[in-house]
Amino acid sequence: MDPNKGLTVLLAGASGDTGRRVLYLLARSDLDVRALTSDPGKVRRLERAGADEAIVGDLFDRADAERAVEGVNMILTAVGSDPREVLLADELVDGVGNRNLVESAADAGVEAIVMESSLGVDGDRASPMAQFFGLTIGPVLDAKAEAERAIRESGLRYTILRPGILTTLSATDDVQVGSAGTGLWGTISRADVARLLVAAPFTPDAEDRTLEVVRNPLLRGRSERIDWQHL
């Protein structure tokens, strides 16, 4: 019997670039998948992509976050802001939205959360790439840092993934991983990030950790060996 059968996972940011790849993987598992989007026009698309349930919600609204996490065992969050929002918005879903999600999850008794974050968050400038991110997308990093702190303080079992520059290339399964501050740098495909997001809740080596993730064969010597439990 599949031990994952009957578990419900909430995928926040399901219609985003990484979220779509995560949904592709989840739809091929025995998990019950609830996909969350802020766009009512994308509900049918998410259902056709394999979501057992697609719901509309605004994570800036705490009530919507509470409704989204009801009855959920674990959360994968790949929410993010587009460039226009970064320039014009006073608050970003990367921060406030994720924090509402985390606090609602803790109140609801959710078991685990996995978040897509970024290199350079929380003042981590261990690599030139992290320093570059700090100069170019500072508001996003600040918002993600806020969400990361909320996760660590929540009491939930968690994994935070900090990828390098995201690409649309195919998954390679050849990724380099290290604790925050390792100084990894490089690109990584969204498909590889999606695989790690899905595997993290079932991977003891990733429990309660913040991990840098890139694909840079030059840095294999810095990479930590993690036995990812892919579904």
Using CA atoms, how far apart are residues 8 and 111, in angstroms rounded to an integer? 11
Q: Report yes or no on 34 lying in a domain.
A: yes
H or E, element range at 151:
helix 138-153
> Structural domain of residue 166, as residue ranges?
8-222
Q: Report yes or no on 67 lying in a domain.
A: yes
For residue 48, give the CATH number of its domain: 3.40.50.720
User: Is residue 6 over pLDDT 70?
Assistant: yes
Q: Report yes or no on 188 lying in a domain.
A: yes
Predicted confidence band of residue 89 (pLDDT cuts 50, 70, 90)? confident
Q: Report yes or no on 230 lying in a domain.
A: no
Average pLDDT of the residues in 195-207: 98
Q: Report yes or no on 179 lying in a domain.
A: yes
Q: What is the pTM of this model?
A: 0.94
Predicted confidence band of residue 3 (pLDDT cuts 50, 70, 90)? low
202: left (phi over 0), alpha (psi -120 to 50) or beta: alpha
User: Is residue 1 over pLDDT 70?
Assistant: no
Q: What percent of the chain has pLDDT over 70?
A: 97
Q: Report yes or no on 114 lying in a domain.
A: yes
Using CA atoms, how far apart are residues 93 and 140, in angstroms rounded to an integer? 9
Q: Report yes or no on 75 lying in a domain.
A: yes
pLDDT at 134: 84
H or E, element range at 115:
strand 112-116
Check: CB of residue 86 under 8 Å from CB of residue 124: no
For 116-140, b where at least 16 C-beta lie within 10 A, e where not — what string? bbbbbbbebbbbebbeebbeebebb
Q: Report yes or no on 2 lying in a domain.
A: no
Domain total for the chain? 1
Check: CB of residue 146 under 8 Å from CB of residue 99: yes
User: Is residue 51 over pLDDT 60?
Assistant: yes
